[in-house]
Structure 1
Amino acid sequence: MPSRSNFLAPGADIRVEGAPDGPLRGRTFVAKDLFDVAGARTGAGNPDWARTHPMATKNAWAVQKLLDAGATLVGKTITDEISLGLLGENAHDGTPLNPRAPDRVPGGSSSGSASAVAQAFCDAALGTDTGGSVRVPASFCGLYGIRPTHGRLPLQGMAPQAPSSDTTGWFARDAATFLAVSQAMLDERPPTALPNELIVAVDAFGFADEAVRDALAPAVKRLGALLGSVREDLLAPQGLSVWGRAQRTLQMAEAWKTFQPWVEQENPRFAFLVARSLLAGSMVEKADLAWAALMRDEARGRLAHLLSGDAILCMPTTPSVAPLRGQPLPVLDRARDRINCLAAHGGLAGHPQLSLPLGEAEGAPVGLSIIGARGADMTLAAVAQALEDQR
């Protein structure tokens, strides 16, 4: 049994039984410590958040959805501080173990949820994804992890960060469990037919490390053979770094707007990186916001065009394997900036994206992502199952 201390949030060793007759009966899950659980305190990875917010009186929508489906909640998990992070290191609660690469970070901000599933403590886990916080730990820990269509699922009882990008997501170790959880969350059965075209995002593959490209090449070949038609195209004609800058601008400005009343009222303690992000968000100029909003419009148009037919797009989830733990700030800043370049389209365009655990480089996992049209979440889950059935 894995050590609960390396992924459970402080005071969150809890258990809530699921409905006795649901489709997920017998399965267990954990929830990131941004989701309310009745009778528990939501800590959001910061001791002053926990201190200044009341005990939850009802379950978050996503938690209740899985409980009603029969799954049993067995804990709440560590998150990057107020969800502002991509690597999974929390100065207050610690860094959850990445069991597939113990010397490396698990990815954030849904770090504890990914760690718990990867260590087989539970069958599935709830996370959140604003700028990559399910997709990145899924890639780093070798899991299935989805950022669903933005706006499709209610976010009641989930602590917000940047509402125009916030989503609830989930993890699983195998495609069958992932498909079952997806059906419960989305209230939808998988389609009877798979997409008939695969678009390979050549700019995203070109941006990734050579070791990542090589590790994912067999999976891309398998995926192309499954769907029957393959073509190459650009994800971001304006440049991946341009999309990254736009998403970062919008996200940090929204995050500051979300947390400003609490910060000004409570003067809470923050790790340097979190304080720096909030400060940057507070200083975003109106002209920069206007530019970023226009770039979001372009990104939405681009994804809608690429995925207007019966096609899905594939790309590396992250440009590299997980960074080593405890790196100096300049190294971490570079890693975050590169990750953001491959994750920005999620918040900008809002399309569903599923990271598949189909590669290994430098002895560590790396994910291949598939992206579908808005609303095609279950199609992605069906593709994942079909690929696993091929093995």
Structure 2
Amino acid sequence: MEFPADAFLPGPRVTIPGAVGGSLSDLTFAAKDLFDVAGHRTGGGNPDWAATHPVPTTHAWAVQALLGAGANLVGKTVTCEISLGILGFNAFDGTPPNPAAPGCLPGGSSSGSASAVAAGLCDIALGTDSGGSVRVPSSLCGLYGMRPSLGAVSMEGVCRQAPTYDTVGWFARDAATFARAAEVLLGTPLPAPEAAGLLVAEDAFAFADPDLADALRPAVARIGAFIGGATATSIAEPGELEVWASQRNILQRAESWQTFRGWIEAVNPRFGFNVARNLTMASSITSEQVALANVARRRVVERARLLLEGGALLCTPTTPFTAPPLGLPLSELDRYSARIGLLTSFAGLVGLPQISLPVATIGGKPAGLSLIGWRGADARLAAIAKALEANA
């Protein structure tokens, strides 16, 4: 499945200068085409979404925050349709290239944002992450990227998908730039890194390709030594991660159907097959299925609280593999997507912050290592990434 495209939307670039003299005035940024930019249509990666929604008159909060800090907007980037995708392809706007792994998928749905940063076309890019759409392209494109705590960065002016999962995240090529953006978007100075210990989720590492897991181990040891020592643990009991991923899928799809149902029923929009199929499945999820999935979610919250509320950080591979090649059939892409969900569901179900660090390369392709903290640890994660880079 190949729809080659650029990172940016077709047509003239959307450009807006940042405020003079701001803390980010030497930086450029791009925004995923789910973020409102005043005077420019928000396309959502779907032609019928663009055609049936009014042109915004105000900027999304995150766009305004970066502009207000002096960063210059240099374009809007391709997204999977209405954010429903994890590998980065779009039947209408195309698949952005992966500069770090040519000929491979960039990861989605914030695919264009990751592609633009990886290619050096901007310093920072805004994305959204519900099921992994910042974390996954960060790993596959060799970038720093974060899914913040739920609600830590305002979603005002952003196309929603699943409200109890949706977050605004961002990408950068280096940790120092990432941290500067973090201070603006999180609204707080970064703290000094704390030595509260690293929990290494061995069950998560077991889901990764063996060569990828091995390639991440030196970084795990280095981070453990930096923050107070590493301890092996398991996120879940045997078999639970698979259950949690399937139940997260039910909950997120059920929420996405409620988000888009009114528009779909009124407009009967065009979709690529994979998006139409997933929305059709979402429309058949029952209230009983949702109730059962919420039981699993409460179990995940209890486990996360036990592991992380005391300040320790959890370490996992961000993705279980490096970037898949372009041109794979949909059935194979589905298998890749399902494997991703085994690693991304934990933070999503609990609303936890998770940062992906570009620490390894396997066969010339990057792989990310994730640090997950308890709710509110966002600035701390960015500070650790910055300190690790400075002491490399």
TM-score bin (small chain): over 0.9
- Asked if 1 retains the 8 angstrom alpha-carbon contact of 2:195 and 2:226, the reply is no
* Alignment gaps of 5+ in structure 1: none
Paired position in structure 1 for 2:153: 153
Matched, 1:51 2:62: no
Q: CA deviation at 1:176?
A: 0.3
SS of 1:96's equivalent in the other structure is coil
Pairwise CA RMSD: 1.2
Q: Deviations over 1:257-287 (max 9, x none)?
A: 1111111111111011000110111001222
> Which residue identity does 2:368 align to in structure 1?
G
Q: CA deviation at 1:11?
A: 4.0
SS of 2:337's equivalent in the other structure is helix
Where do 1:1-391 residues align within 5 Å? 6-11=6-11, 13-237=13-237, 239-391=240-392
- Asked if 1 retains the 8 angstrom alpha-carbon contact of 2:182 and 2:379, the reply is yes
Aligned pairs, number:
388
Change beyond 3 A, Cα 1:274–1:83:
same
1:169, 1:304 → 2: CA distance?
23
SS of 2:313's equivalent in the other structure is strand
- Asked if 2 retains the 8 angstrom alpha-carbon contact of 1:12 and 1:77, the reply is no
Q: CA deviation at 1:310?
A: 2.6
Q: CA deviation at 1:12?
A: 5.9
Identity %: 54
Q: CA deviation at 1:304?
A: 1.3
Q: CA deviation at 1:10?
A: 3.2
- Asked if 2 retains the 8 angstrom alpha-carbon contact of 1:314 and 1:368, the reply is yes
- Asked if 1 retains the 8 angstrom alpha-carbon contact of 2:5 and 2:93, the reply is no
- Asked if 2 retains the 8 angstrom alpha-carbon contact of 1:321 and 1:362, the reply is no
1:68, 1:124 → 2: CA distance?
15
SS of 1:348's equivalent in the other structure is helix
2:183, 2:10 → 1: CA distance?
31
- Asked if 2 retains the 8 angstrom alpha-carbon contact of 1:147 and 1:169, the reply is yes
Q: CA deviation at 1:236?
A: 2.6
- Asked if 1 retains the 8 angstrom alpha-carbon contact of 2:5 and 2:95, the reply is no
1:145, 1:48 → 2: CA distance?
30
> Which residue identity does 2:372 align to in structure 1?
I
> Which residue identity does 2:128 align to in structure 1?
T
Q: CA deviation at 1:191?
A: 1.3
1:361, 1:331 → 2: CA distance?
21
Q: CA deviation at 1:322?
A: 1.2
- Asked if 1 retains the 8 angstrom alpha-carbon contact of 2:113 and 2:126, the reply is yes
- Asked if 1 retains the 8 angstrom alpha-carbon contact of 2:5 and 2:97, the reply is no
- Asked if 2 retains the 8 angstrom alpha-carbon contact of 1:195 and 1:312, the reply is no
Q: CA deviation at 1:5?
A: 5.7
> Which residue identity does 2:197 align to in structure 1?
E
Q: CA deviation at 1:195?
A: 3.1
SS of 2:116's equivalent in the other structure is helix
- Asked if 2 retains the 8 angstrom alpha-carbon contact of 1:200 and 1:313, the reply is yes
2:11, 2:370 → 1: CA distance?
34
1:353, 1:159 → 2: CA distance?
21
* Alignment gaps of 5+ in structure 2: none
